[in-house]
């Protein structure tokens, strides 16, 4: 697939053929383009006596001057076709063009683009002297063809690179979106695990504080005369402290500020027992329980707040 000839290039070639026509003093200076089996006028000099308009098309045959150029793959000069047996019946004689000089024009890969030529109705000595100049203009046009191919190649390469870049950017965007989604899911999972862990720790702490520690405190009071038993009790309490120290949570912090009795009462409050119920359970006077309740409220910042103690304890459980 050959590149399209740009309008800028065509305008340049127009200046070239007009210059050739003036310098060589010919009515027709042409750039012809070949699309077998046809050969057409692509650029034509702007002379009033030029019989070749743009788009004028010929069939490639042995009766066409340009066919001789392509067949020779080089210069063709016909000084007077009417006296040349090889060209005395050529197609251009119908337009009165008996004089011809032409050169092939090729793409960089060697395929034929067309020809550059001059034509006249007489033997033109000035044009004959200008043959080398015409050949140089042929090289200029071939250089333009090479440039157009290179521009087209680079444009295609840039488009390919851009397409590849777009694909890579899309893959990165998709991958980033996937990673963000995975990270979001992981954060939710980790938060859930952390919440579950905290809830589990709080439950264990609550059970230790409410079900074990109060009984250890009572047991210690009944083992005054049993040194061996107190040693085992100390070991049990140390073990429980080790376990609870490795756990975290608001409930742990709250209970650390309470005395063992207050911790026991707080646990019973969390279980929904009233002051009278707790007094009966602990064999204490209701006024004593109420005293400890007030201490607990004070330590938790609820004094004169009107907030429910049990609700707060349950909320930080």
* Domains of the chain, first to last: 7-156 (3.30.450.40), 201-315 (no CATH)
Residue 265, pLDDT above cutoff 70: yes
pLDDT tens digits, one per residue of 36-89: 999 999 999 999 999 999 999 999 999 999 999 999 999 999 999 999 999 999
pLDDT value for 282 = 84
pLDDT value for 252 = 58
Percent of the chain's residues with pLDDT above 90: 54
* CA–CA gap between residue 202 and residue 250 (Å, rounded): 8
The chain-wide mean pLDDT, for the chain, equals: 87
pLDDT level of residue 108 (50, 70, 90 thresholds): very high
Residue 263, pLDDT above cutoff 70: yes
State the SS3 of 239-296: HHHHHHHCCCCHHHHHHHCCCHHHHHHHHHHHCCCCHHHHHHHHCCCHHHHHHHHHHH
Give the mean pLDDT of 210-236: 72
Number of Cβ within 10 Å of residue 272's Cβ equals 9
Percent of the chain's residues with pLDDT above 70: 91
pTM of structure: 0.56
CB contact at 8 A, 312 and 300: yes
pLDDT tens digits, one per residue of 2-49: 899 999 999 999 999 999 999 999 999 999 999 999 999 999 999 999
pLDDT value for 245 = 63
């Amino acid at each position: 697939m050959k590149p399209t000839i740009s309008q800028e290039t065509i305008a340049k070639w127009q200046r070239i053929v007009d210059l050739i026509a003036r310098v060589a003093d010919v009515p027709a200076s042409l750039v012809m383009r070949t699309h077998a089996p046809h050969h057409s006028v692509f650029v034509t000099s702007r002379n009033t006596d030029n019989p070749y308009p743009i788009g004028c098309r010929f069939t490639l045959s042995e009766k066409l001057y340009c066919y001789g150029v392509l067949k020779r793959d080089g210069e063709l000069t016909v000084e007077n076709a009417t006296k040349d047996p090889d060209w005395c019946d050529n197609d251009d004689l119908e337009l009165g063009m008996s004089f011809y000089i032409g050169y092939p024009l090729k793409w960089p890969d060697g395929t034929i683009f067309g020809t550059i030529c001059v034509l006249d109705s007489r033997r033109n000595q000035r044009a004959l002297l200008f043959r080398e100049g015409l050949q140089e203009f042929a090289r200029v046009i071939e250089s333009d063809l090479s440039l157009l191919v290179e521009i087209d190649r680079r444009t295609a390469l840039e488009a390919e690179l851009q397409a590849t870049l777009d694909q890579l950017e899309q893959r990165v965007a998709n991958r980033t979106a996937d990673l963000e989604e995975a990270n979001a899911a992981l954060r939710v999972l980790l938060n859930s695990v952390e919440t579950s862990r905290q809830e589990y720790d709080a439950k264990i702490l609550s059970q230790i504080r409410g079900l074990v520690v109060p009984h250890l405190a009572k047991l210690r009071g009944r083992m005054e005369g049993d040194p061996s038993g107190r040693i085992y009790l100390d070991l049990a309490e140390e073990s429980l402290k080790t376990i609870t120290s490795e756990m975290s949570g608001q409930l742990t912090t709250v209970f650390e500020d309470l005395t063992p009795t207050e911790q026991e009462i707080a646990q019973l409050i969390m279980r929904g027992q009233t002051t009278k119920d707790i007094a009966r359970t602990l064999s204490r006077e209701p006024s004593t329980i109420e005293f400890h309740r007030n201490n607990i409220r004070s330590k938790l910042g609820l004094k004169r707040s009107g907030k429910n103690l049990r609700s707060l304890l349950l909320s930080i459980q």
